[in-house]
Structure 1
Amino acid sequence: MAVAPSRPKGPPMTAMRAFEAAARLQSFVAAADELGVSAGAVSQQVKALEGWVGTPLFRRNPQGVVLTAAGRALLPSFIAAFDAMGAATQILHSLRPSRTLHIATLPCIAQLWLPSRLRRLRGLMPDLKISVTALETPPNLARELFDFALFFAPHDCSDAECINLGSDTIYPVCAPCLAEQLNTPRDLNDVALLQDQSWALDWSNWATAAGVALDDAQGGPRYSLYSLAMQEAEAGAGVLMGHHSLVADALAAHRLVRPYQDLCCDTGKALILFQPPTSRRSNDHSAIADLLCSG
C-alpha cells in the first residue's frame, strides 16, 4: 500500500517575496508600493516569515526598519533567487505567440507625452499590440514584464540601461488670452497659480531660481492630475508651472504660451527611458526605443 507522508514545508512564497522587497528597499512602504499591496500586508508577511525562522529579520523603530544580522545574511540569496525567477518568467513570456509591448510610466507622461509617440509607432508597426500601465514609481525591469519605463529621474541616473530624453525644465504657461494680462512677473500675483499636488513646490522653486517675488506661491487651486491642471490652464483658469516635456505639444499647437520666455528653472531631473537588461530585450527593442526617443 502506497503511503503519502507529509513533507517538510518552507515558508509561504508571499512571505519570502515581502521580505526580499522590504530588505532590498529598506522600507515596508516602498516594498508595498512595488508589490501592489498595503504596508500592513508587508509587515504581516514579514512577521510570518520571522515566526517561521524563529528570529527577527528587522528591527522596528519610529524612523523605519533596519535589517538584523540574520536579515542581512539572508538578503543576497533572496535577491539572487528572485532575480533568477524574474529571468525565468521573461523566458516564458518570450515563448508566447503574440507580441505585446508593455510600457510603464507616470500618469502625466502617459496622458501628455506618450500619445504622439505611440501614434507614430502604430503607424510603422501596425501589428504590434501596445499596453500602457500608469504607475507612480518605476518598476523593477529585471523582474517585471515591462519592455520600457518612462519616469522623471535625476540627471545622473546611474542605471546603464537608461536613456536621457531631456532635462525637466519648468516655466509658467497659460492660455493666450490670459498672457495678455501678464506684462511682468509681478503680474502673476493677480492671477491664479495652478498647482499639481505631486509637484507642490514647483512655483516656489521657480520663483527662487528666477528671482521673482510671489505673494503666495502655493495658494492656488490644486489638482491631483497634471493633465487636469493643464486643461484648466488651456481654458484660461490660471497659470500653470509647465514641465517642458509635458507641455511641448500644447505649446506647438498654440493652446498654451510662455508669458516669460527667459525665465525657467531646471528641476535637477530628466525624462528617462528605462530599459530591461540587454539579454531580456525583444528583437524589435532597438527600433521601438529609437521611435520613442525621437521627437
Structure 2
Amino acid sequence: MPVAPPFPRLPSLNALRAFEAAARLGGFALAGEELQVSPGAVAAQIKALEQEIGGALFVRHARGVDLTPLGRRALPGFVAAFDSLGLAVTELRREAVPGKVHIAALPALAELWLAPRLPAIRETLPEVDISITAMETPPNLKRVPFDLCLFYAPDGSSAVAQDDLLPVCTRAVATTLQRPEDLLEAVCLTDSAWARDWQIWADEALPGREFTPKGPVFSLYSLAVQEALSGAGVLMAHRSLVAGHLASGALVAPFPVSVPLKDRISLWSLPGGRGNAVVDTLASELRRLSVSDG
C-alpha cells in the first residue's frame, strides 16, 4: 500500500512579510506602519512564525528588538524574495492593463508641475491611462505597483529639471519691499516640509544673517501658493512650481536673487518599470515637455 506523507506546509505569508519588514526596518512599529497593521499584530505574526520554525528570529528588550544570528542570516533571502514577488505582481498588472501608468509624486509636484502638463500628455498619448498618487516620500518600486516616481532628488540621470528658490508675491505686496532686509519684518509664507528654504535663500541674499520667517506655516505647498496669490504675504517659492503665475504676472519676484536647489526634479522607474514601452513613452514625453517649457 503506497504511503502519501503530508506535504510540508509553508508558513503564513503574512507572518513571513512581518518578519521581513521588521528585520529590514529594524522594529515592529516601523514594520506595522509599512504593512498598515499595529505593532502588536506584527509581534504576534513573528511569534507564531518563530514557534513554527522552532527558533528565535529576534531578541526582545526594553529598547526594542534585535535580530538573532538566525534572523540575520535569513533576512537577505526574504528581502530578495519579496522584491521578486512585488515585481512579478507589477508585471502581472501591466500585462492585464497595458495602457495604464501609475505615477507616485510629491504632492507639490503632482499639483503644480505634473497636473499642468497632463492636457498636453493626453493630447499626445490619448491611449495612455494615467493615475497619480501623491505621497511625501518615494515608494519602493520593487514592492508597490507604481510605474514612475516624480520627486526632488540629488542630481543624476533621472533629473528632468533644475529648480531654484526665490521670494514671490503679488505686485501690491512687492511695492512694500525695497531690499531683502525688508523681509525680516514682512509676512512670510512657509511650507512646513521646506521651512529651511528661507534660510537657504537668506544665506545668499543676506549673508551672515540668521533668518526666521514671520508668518503662517502650511502643510500643503499649494495652499501657500494660493495665499501668496491672494496677497497674504511673501512665499519662498520653487520657481518650477510657480512658473505659470510668474509668466502671467499674478506673482512677481521682488528681488533679483535666486538660489539653485541642490536637488532636481527627477523622474525615474526602478527595474520593474524599465523596458515597458508605455511607461518609457510617457517618461520620454514628460522629459520633452520639461525641456520645452524650460
**What TM-score comes out, normalization by structure 1 length?**
0.83
Whether 1:143 and 2:143 are equivalent positions in the alignment is yes
Judge conservation of contact 2:170–2:228 (CA < 8 Å) in 1: yes
- Give the corresponding residue for 2:185: 190
- Give the corresponding residue for 2:71: 71
- Give the corresponding residue for 1:238: 233
Gaps in structure 2 of 5+ consecutive residues: none
Q: 1:100 Cα deviation (Å)?
A: 1.3
- State the distance in 2 between where 1:41 and 1:210 align: 52
C-alpha spacing 1:72/1:212, structure 2 compared with 1 (3 Å): same
- Give the corresponding residue for 1:116: 116
- Give the corresponding residue for 2:197: 202
> Which residue identity is paired with 1:290?
S
Q: Output aligned runs, 1:222-237, within 5 Å.
A: 222-237=217-232
- State the distance in 2 between where 1:68 and 1:219 align: 51
Q: Which moved more, 1:280-289 or 1:50-59?
A: 50-59
Q: 1:264 Cα deviation (Å)?
A: 2.1
Q: Output aligned runs, 1:82-93, within 5 Å.
A: 82-93=82-93
Q: Output aligned runs, 1:26-65, within 5 Å.
A: 26=26, 31-37=31-37, 41-42=41-42, 45-53=45-53, 54-57=55-58, 62=63
Question: What is the DSSP-based 3-state SS (H/G/I as helix, E as strand, rest coil) of the residue aligned with 1:261?
Answer: coil
- Give the corresponding residue for 1:15: 15
- State the distance in 2 between where 1:215 and 1:132 align: 39
- State the distance in 2 between where 1:200 and 1:44 align: 40
Structure 2 counterpart of 1:257, from 243, 252, 258: 252
Q: 1:270 Cα deviation (Å)?
A: 1.7
**What TM-score comes out, normalization by structure 2 length?**
0.83
- Give the corresponding residue for 1:273: 267
Q: Which moved more, 1:201-210 or 1:39-48?
A: 39-48
Deviations 1:95-128 (A, max 9, x none): 3156211111111111111012211110111222
C-alpha spacing 1:29/1:293, structure 2 compared with 1 (3 Å): farther
C-alpha spacing 1:39/1:110, structure 2 compared with 1 (3 Å): farther
- State the distance in 1 between where 2:213 and 2:244 align: 26
Judge conservation of contact 2:91–2:272 (CA < 8 Å) in 1: no
- State the distance in 2 between where 1:112 and 1:40 align: 40
- Give the corresponding residue for 1:159: none
Structure 2 counterpart of 1:283, from 277, 284, 289: 277
- Give the corresponding residue for 1:152: 152
Q: 1:145 Cα deviation (Å)?
A: 1.7
Q: Output aligned runs, 1:159-174, within 5 Å.
A: 163-174=158-169
Gaps in structure 1 of 5+ consecutive residues: 157-161
Root-mean-square deviation (CA), in Å?
A: 2.9
- State the distance in 1 between where 2:216 and 2:13 align: 45
- State the distance in 1 between where 2:147 and 2:48 align: 34
